[in-house]
Structure 1
């Protein structure tokens, strides 16, 4: 992630970020969010799995979503 929020900040505030993530990617379940636990790689994997997109697209969506936070 080049600009915007540092992923460590997202991970540190995962409890607050979960609601935002759930709003953006509504197909993720509460169990998914608990399992992800602020880990960017796991978030990308779950988005990839739930939305049927490639990993690079999932990572791009994550970067775009959090760079404005």
Structure 2
């Protein structure tokens, strides 16, 4: 899935994102608004992950969900 598709369908993804990363708030997800780099940054911030760890988690999440 490319960036435009992710941003365009973000509302559909927020529920699944909250299931995956329960520490992310609604405000966090509103701020992210489908921007992958910002999602990775929020995961880093909330979970104390490195940039590479957050990127890998997001990659895995997209792969598991067929996006």
**Same-fold call, TM cutoff 0.5:** yes
Within the candidate set 31, 34, 38, 2:30 is matched to: 34
Provide the rounded CA distance (Å) in 2 between the counterparts of 1:34 and 1:40.
13
Partner in structure 1 of residue 40 of structure 2? 44
Aligned: 1:58 with 2:58: no
Structure 1 length-normalised TM? 0.86
Question: Which fold has the larger relative contact order, with Cα–Cα distance below 8 Å and residues 6 or more apart in sequence?
Answer: 1
Partner in structure 2 of residue 20 of structure 1? 16
Structure 2 runs not aligned, ≥5 long: none
RMSD: 0.9
Partner in structure 1 of residue 6 of structure 2? 10
Q: What is the number of equivalent residue pairs in this alignment?
A: 64
Give the structure with the larger helix fraction.
2
Q: Which 4+ stretches in 1 moved above 3 angstroms? A: none
